[in-house]
C-alpha cells in the first residue's frame, strides 16, 4: 500500500494535497504530466511509485547538486538509489554500475547530457528500466528561460525503451505545457494534473527602491539567524552587498558565475549544511538547491521575468512553513531590463515576447490590489478572493485618478521630441528652470510648470508607474530617453483613464516571521539543531537530510520519551528511527533503554504494542502455567513475525511455531491477538 510505504520510508502519515492521485497514476504505468508548485512534494510522486513497481525508474534531471541531494536523502531513508553525473568520482560511478548489474537499484538519476552517449540506451536496457521520470520538464521548452537541448532526446528514449513517462515541473504556462506534450509524449495527451501555482505560505511583497542598501540591511536584520537568499542583477553587486551584510554581523557569502567552480561548490555545500547562512547571488545560484528551510528570498534588483521571479521566490519555504519574499525595484531596474531585451540577439518575435513577460512582472510590481491574484492570473489560475498574505492585502494602497498627470507627462515627452529622461521631464513639469531647460528653450513650452501640484518625489513615482505599465519605455539608442508606446496614445487622446497608487517610499515596519516554536521550547529546539548539525557534519550531508526543521519542531513540541513515541513524529521513517532515533531521544529525554532491532522495526505501529504483550505472555509461561516445566521461549524474530501476521487461529500460528511452542504459548498468543 502506498500509505504504508509513505509511513515506513518517509515517516509521513498522509499525502500532501494532490500527491496521492498522481502517485496512483504513475504507479499504474500511465503517462503523466504533473504541474505542481515548488514545495508541493513532486519528487515523492515519482520516488514512491518506483518502490511500488518492479525494475528501475530512471530520473532525468538537469541539476547535479539536486540529484546528489535527493540520492543522499533516499539512501538515508533506506532506498537503493544512485546517480550518474559529471560530478561523480570514478569510485561512485563504478558503485552505481555494480548496483545496476546486481539488480539492487530502484532509482537511477542522470543528467540529460548523458543521453547523447551511445552507451546509455544499452545500459538502461540491461538495467531493466521500467519507467522514466523527468524533473524540471519545462527545460524542454525552446521558448523557456531554462532550455536544455538534451531534453529533446527524452522522447526518443521513451520510444526506444517503450516504458511509461512521468514529467514534472513547477513552472509551465499554456505554451510550455503544449511543448512538453509534443516533445516528450509525441503529442499524445498524458494524464495531466494541474495542481496550481499557488504557494500560500509565501508572503509576497514589492517595494520601490529608496536607499536600497539600507532597505536590504533592515530587512535582513529583522530575520537574523534565518537562512535566506539575496538576488542581485550583477556580479559586482553580490560582492558589495555580501560585504555589507558581513560588516553588519551576518553570516553571508557572495555567489556568481565568475567564481571558480570549486568556490561555488563550497558555497553551495555551506548553504546546505549551515543554519542561518545568507547567500548573495546572481540567478546562477539556487536552481540545484533543495534546502527546505529557506525562510526568505529578497530581490535587491528587479528579476528578468515573471517566470524567473516565480521560480526564484519558490526556493523559500519548501517545507510548507511560512516564508517571506520582498522585491526591490526602481526606474533604473526597468531601464536595465528593457535594454537587455532590446540589445539582445533574439529575433523580433522573441524580443516582443520577452517585453510582454517583463510587462507582466512590472504589472505585479505596480499592482493596486492583491498581488497573489495577479500572479496566479498570469499562469491562468483564478483566485476566488484576496490572499491576505501579501503586502497589499495587509495595507491596501491609496489610489488616485492619475489620468491628467499621465497626460501631462506624455505631452512633455512629445513636445521635447522624446529625447529626454525622467529627470529633465520632471524639471519641465515642476517649472524648475535649470540651465539645461533654459538652453533648450523648454521653459517656453506649454507644459512648463503644469505639474506643480505634485512634488518631485511624487512625479518620480508617477514616471516609475508609467514605465511599469508600459506607457513609456527607455530608448537605448537615445541614451535611455523615454518614448511613448502604443499603449500611451489612447491615454494621450483622452480615450482611456489611468489609476495609480499614491506612492510613498517611506520604509514599512519590518515584519518578523515567527516560524519556529513557543518560547519554552526554544532551548530544546536549539539543542536538537545542534545534534543534527553534528550528525550532518560527521556524515558530510546537508542538515535537512538527517531531519528537516519541521520534524525537529514537532520533536520539541511533543517531547517523545520512547522510540515508539519518536516513531510517531512526522518525518521519522523506519530507517531514520534506526539511524538517529536514540541520538535525538537522548537530547529530549536523556538516555533511554535500548530496544531490540526486531522490536525497533515495529516502533510506533500497533504491531509494536502487540509484540510487547506477546513478550509479556511468553515471560509468564516461560516455565509453563504452573512454573515447574522446562524453560521454553520463542525467538525475537518469531514474535515479530507473529505480531505482523496476526494469525487468527491455531493453524495460522503453526506456520510460525513448532509443536512444543504452539502447545505452550498458542492459546495465550491467540487471546492477545484477538484482543489487539
pLDDT in tens, 41-94: 889 999 999 999 999 999 999 877 778 888 988 998 899 999 998 778 888 889
Residue at grid coordinates 487461529: 649
Give the torsion through C-alpha atoms of 74, 76, 82, 84, to 10 deg: 100
What is the average per-residue pLDDT within 6-22?
A: 86
What is the average per-residue pLDDT within 235-249?
A: 95
Reported as a single tens digit per residue, the pLDDT across 603-650 is 878 888 899 999 999 999 999 888 888 999 999 889 999 999 999 998
Dihedral pair phi/psi, residue 231, rounded to 5°? -95, 135
Residue 131 and residue 156: Cα distance in Å, rounded? 14
| Mean pLDDT (the chain, rounded) | 88
pLDDT at position 502 is 86
pLDDT at position 145 is 56
pLDDT at position 606 is 84
**Chain centre distance of CA 167:** 17
Q: Among 152, 154, 151, 176, which Cα is nearest to 165's?
A: 154
pLDDT at position 375 is 92
Which cell is 612 given? 510487547
Q: How many residues does the chain have?
A: 676
- How many of the other CB atoms lie within 10 Å of CB of 21? 16
pLDDT confidence band for 426 (50 / 70 / 90): very high
DSSP string for residues in 272-306? HHSTT-EEEE-TTSSTT---TT--EEEESS--S-H
pLDDT at position 56 is 95
Higher pLDDT, 451 or 10: 451
pLDDT at position 514 is 47
Tell me the percentage of the chain whose pLDDT exceeds 70: 96
Say whether 234 sits in a helix, a strand or coil.
Answer: coil
- How many of the other CB atoms lie within 10 Å of CB of 4? 9
pLDDT at position 512 is 47
pLDDT at position 305 is 87
For the chain, the distance separating the N- and C-terminal CA atoms, rounded to the nearest angstrom, is 21
What is the average per-residue pLDDT within 519-543?
A: 86
- The least confident of 124-128, 197-201, 493-497 is 197-201
pLDDT confidence band for 288 (50 / 70 / 90): low
Say whether 432 sits in a helix, a strand or coil.
Answer: coil
Say if residues 364 and 375 touch (Cβ distance below 8 Å).
yes
pLDDT at position 341 is 87
pLDDT surpassing 70 at residue 146? no
Residue 271 and residue 536: Cα distance in Å, rounded? 13
Dihedral pair phi/psi, residue 41, rounded to 5°? 85, 40
* Dihedral (CA of 553, 555, 558, 559) sign: negative
Reported as a single tens digit per residue, the pLDDT across 243-259 is 999 999 999 999 998 88
Which cell is 472 given? 513609456
Beta bridge partner(s), residue 280: 230, 254
Say if residues 280 and 253 touch (Cβ distance below 8 Å).
yes
Higher pLDDT, 292 or 657: 657
Reported as a single tens digit per residue, the pLDDT across 172-218 is 667 788 888 999 998 788 999 987 778 889 999 999 998 999 999 99
pLDDT confidence band for 505 (50 / 70 / 90): very low
H/E run at residue 409: helix 403-415
Which cell is 13 given? 502519515
Reported as a single tens digit per residue, the pLDDT across 308-335 is 898 899 889 888 888 999 999 998 898 8
Residue 499 and residue 402: Cα distance in Å, rounded? 5
H/E run at residue 101: helix 90-102
pLDDT at position 286 is 63
Residue 426 and residue 448: Cα distance in Å, rounded? 10
Taking CA 602 as the corner, what is the angle to CA 546 and CA 592, rounded to the nearest 5 degrees?
A: 65
Based on DSSP, count helices (H) and strands (E) in the chain, helices before strands.
Answer: 31, 18
Give the torsion through C-alpha atoms of 292, 294, 296, 297, to 10 deg: -90
pLDDT at position 513 is 46
H/E run at residue 169: strand 165-169
What is the average per-residue pLDDT within 517-525?
A: 82
What is the average per-residue pLDDT within 519-541?
A: 86
Reported as a single tens digit per residue, the pLDDT across 353-409 is 888 888 889 989 989 899 999 998 888 788 889 999 999 999 998 999 999 999 999
Residue 249 and residue 276: Cα distance in Å, rounded? 12
Say if residues 472 and 466 touch (Cβ distance below 8 Å).
yes
What is the average per-residue pLDDT within 406-417?
A: 95
pLDDT confidence band for 588 (50 / 70 / 90): very high
Residue at grid coordinates 497608487: 501
pLDDT at position 22 is 94
Say if residues 322 and 203 touch (Cβ distance below 8 Å).
yes
Say if residues 322 and 201 touch (Cβ distance below 8 Å).
yes
pLDDT at position 53 is 92
pLDDT surpassing 70 at residue 142? no
Say whether 62 sits in a helix, a strand or coil.
Answer: coil
Q: Please report which residue ranges of 314-347 form alpha helices under DSSP H.
A: 331-342
Q: Among 39, 68, 47, 35, which Cα is nearest to 137's?
A: 35
pLDDT at position 360 is 87
pLDDT at position 62 is 84
Residue 512 and residue 324: Cα distance in Å, rounded? 9
Say whether 153 sits in a helix, a strand or coil.
Answer: helix
pLDDT at position 548 is 86
Say whether 156 sits in a helix, a strand or coil.
Answer: helix
pLDDT at position 509 is 45
* Dihedral (CA of 198, 204, 206, 212) sign: negative
DSSP letter at 243 equals H
DSSP letter at 7 equals I
* Dihedral (CA of 407, 301, 549, 74) sign: positive
Amino acid at each position: 500500500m502506498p500509505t504504508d510505504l509513505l509511513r515506513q520510508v518517509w515517516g509521513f502519515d498522509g499525502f500532501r494535497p494532490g500527491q496521492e492521485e498522481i502517485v496512483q497514476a504513475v504507479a499504474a504505468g500511465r503517462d503523466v504530466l504533473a504541474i505542481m508548485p515548488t514545495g508541493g512534494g513532486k519528487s515523492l510522486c515519482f520516488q514512491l511509485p518506483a518502490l511500488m513497481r518492479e525494475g528501475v525508474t530512471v530520473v532525468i534531471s538537469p541539476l547535479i547538486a539536486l540529484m546528489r541531494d535527493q540520492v543522499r536523502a533516499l539512501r538515508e531513508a533506506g532506498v537503493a538509489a544512485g546517480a550518474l553525473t559529471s560530478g561523480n568520482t570514478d569510485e561512485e560511478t563504478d558503485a552505481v554500475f555494480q548496483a545496476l548489474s546486481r539488480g539492487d537499484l530502484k532509482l537511477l538519476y542522470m543528467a540529460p547530457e548523458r543521453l547523447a552517449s551511445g552507451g546509455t540506451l544499452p545500459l538502461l536496457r540491461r538495467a531493466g528500466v521500467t519507467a522514466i521520470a523527468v524533473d524540471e520538464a519545462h527545460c524542454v521548452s525552446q521558448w523557456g528561460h531554462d532550455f536544455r537541448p538534451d531534453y529533446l532526446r527524452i522522447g526518443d528514449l521513451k520510444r526506444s525503451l517503450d516504458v511509461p513517462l512521468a514529467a514534472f515541473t513547477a513552472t509551465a504556462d499554456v505554451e510550455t505545457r503544449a511543448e512538453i506534450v509534443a516533445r516528450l509524449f509525441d503529442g499524445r495527451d498524458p494524464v495531466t494534473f494541474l495542481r496550481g501555482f499557488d504557494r500560500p505560505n509565501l508572503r509576497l511583497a514589492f517595494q520601490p527602491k529608496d536607499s536600497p542598501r539600507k532597505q536590504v540591511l533592515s530587512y535582513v536584520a529583522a530575520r537574523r539567524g534565518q537562512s535566506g537568499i539575496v538576488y542581485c542583477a550583477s556580479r559586482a553587486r553580490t560582492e558589495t552587498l555580501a560585504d555589507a551584510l558581513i560588516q553588519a554581523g551576518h553570516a553571508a557569502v557572495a555567489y556568481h558565475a565568475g567564481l571558480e567552480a570549486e568556490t561555488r561548490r563550497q558555497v553551495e555545500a555551506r548553504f546546505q549544511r549551515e543554519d542561518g547562512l545568507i547567500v548573495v547571488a546572481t540567478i546562477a545560484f539556487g536552481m540545484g538547491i533543495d534546502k527546505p528551510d529557506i525562510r526568505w528570498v529578497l530581490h535587491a534588483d528587479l528579476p528578468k521575468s515573471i517566470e524567473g521571479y516565480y521560480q526564484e521566490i519558490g526556493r523559500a519555504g519548501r517545507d510548507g512553513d511560512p516564508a517571506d519574499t520582498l522585491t526591490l525595484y526602481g526606474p533604473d531596474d526597468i531601464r536595465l531590463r528593457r535594454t537587455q531585451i532590446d540589445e539582445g540577439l533574439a529575433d523580433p518575435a522573441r524580443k516582443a515576447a520577452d517585453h510582454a513577460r517583463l510587462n507582466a512582472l512590472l504589472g505585479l510590481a505596480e499592482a493596486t490590489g492583491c498581488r497573489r491574484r495577479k500572479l496566479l492570473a498570469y499562469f491562468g489560475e483564478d483566485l476566488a478572493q484576496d490572499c491576505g498574505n501579501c503586502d497589499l492585502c495587509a495595507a491596501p494602497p491609496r489610489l488616485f485618478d492619475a489620468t491628467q498627470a499621465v497626460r501631462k507627462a506624455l505631452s512633455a515627452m512629445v513636445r521635447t521630441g522624446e529625447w529626454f529622461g525622467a529627470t529633465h521631464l520632471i524639471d519641465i513639469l515642476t517649472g524648475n528652470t535649470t540651465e539645461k531647460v533654459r538652453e533648450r528653450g523648454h521653459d517656453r513650452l506649454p507644459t512648463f510648470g503644469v505639474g506643480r501640484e505634485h512634488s518631485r518625489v511624487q512625479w518620480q513615482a508617477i514616471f516609475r508607474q508609467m514605465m511599469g505599465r508600459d506607457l513609456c519605455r527607455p530608448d537605448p539608442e537615445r541614451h535611455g530617453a523615454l518614448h511613448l508606446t502604443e499603449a500611451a496614445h489612447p491615454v494621450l487622446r483622452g480615450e482611456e483613464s489611468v489609476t495609480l497608487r499614491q506612492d510613498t517610499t517611506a520604509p514599512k515596519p519590518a515584519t518578523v516571521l515567527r516560524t519556529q516554536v513557543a518560547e519554552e521550547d526554544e532551548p530544546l529546539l536549539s539543542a536538537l539543531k545542534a545534534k543534527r548539525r553534528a550528525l550532518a557534519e560527521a556524515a558530510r550531508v546537508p542538515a535537512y537530510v538527517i531531519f528537516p526543521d519541521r520534524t525537529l519542531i514537532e520533536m520539541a513540541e511533543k517531547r517523545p520519551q520512547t522510540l515508539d513515541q519518536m516513531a510517531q513524529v512526522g518525518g521519522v521513517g523506519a530507517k531514520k528511527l534506526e539511524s538517529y532515533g536514540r541520538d535525538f531521544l537522548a537530547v529530549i529525554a536523556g538516555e533511554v533503554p535500548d530496544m531490540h532491532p526486531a522490536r525497533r522495526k515495529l516502533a510506533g505501529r500497533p504491531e509494536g504494542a502487540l509484540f510487547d504483550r506477546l513478550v509479556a505472555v511468553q515471560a509468564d509461561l516461560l516455565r509453563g502455567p504452573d512454573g515447574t516445566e522446562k524453560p521454553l521461549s520463542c525467538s525475537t524474530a518469531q514474535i515479530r513475525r507473529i505480531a505482523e501476521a496476526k494469525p487468527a487461529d491455531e493453524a495460522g500460528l503453526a506456520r510460525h511455531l513448532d509443536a512444543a511452542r504452539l502447545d505452550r504459548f498458542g492459546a495465550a498468543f491467540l487471546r492477545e491477538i484477538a484482543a489487539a
